[in-house]
Homo-oligomer: A and B are copies of this chain.
Amino acid sequence: MNMEIATVNSLPYEDFVNIFGNVVEKCPIITAAVWSRRPFVNMGALEAAISEFIDALPESGKEGILRCHPDLAGRDLHSGTLTRESQEEQARAGMDGLDSTEASHMARLNDEYKVRFGFPFVICARMNNKATILQQLSERLRNERALERALGIEEVKKICRLRLQGLVLIDAPNKL
C-alpha cells in the first residue's frame, strides 16, 4: 500500500531510512540526508531533493554511487545476495533467465566495462529487456569515462524514481 506524502513527512528519521533507504542502491546516507529537507509537497519534491543531493556530490562521490551497484546478471544474482529491489528488477528484465551463451556474453561485456571505467554498467532494468540491455552495454562501452559516469547517474535517478513510485502515492487523493 503506497503512502500519502503527509504520512511520509510525519516519519521519524529511523522509519524514513528503513522505508526509503534503498531507493538509491546501498546508499541510505542519501535518503538520511534529505530527511532534513522535509516536509515534501509531493513525491516529486522528495525525488528532486535526492537528485539535487546526488548532483552536488564530487565526481568521486558519483562514481561511489555507481560502485555500490551490482552487475547485471552477475555474481550477486547467482549467489542470491542482491538487495530485494535489485533482485526484482533484474528478474523482471529477464536477467535470471539468460542462456549460457547470453550469460557469458554479458559477463564478458560487464568485465570489459569495469576494467575500462572503474565502475559497473548501470541501467534501469525495468525500462529495458535482455536485448536492449545487451545492446546498450555494447554501445556505452565505447563512450568516454565522463559521459559514461553521467549516463550511469541518470540511470540511477530513473531507478530511484521507479522505486519511489512503488512506495509513495504520486498524487494525494481528493479529500471527500
List residues of chain A with CB under 8 Å of any chain B CB: 12-14, 17, 26-37, 53, 56, 58-61, 63-68, 114, 118-119
Contacts and interface: CB of A to CB of B under 8 A. Distances in A.
A37 B60 contact: yes
Q: Assembly of this chain: how many copies?
A: 2
Interface of A is mostly: helix
A13 B118 contact: yes
Query: Considering residues A13, A31, A35, which has the most beta carbons from chain B within 10 angstroms of its beta carbon?
Result: A13
8 contacts: A13-B67, A13-B114, A13-B119, A14-B67, A26-B29, A32-B63, A33-B63, A34-B64
Contacts of A12: 114
A52 B56 CA distance: 15
A64 B26 contact: no
Contacts of A35: 63-64, 67, 118
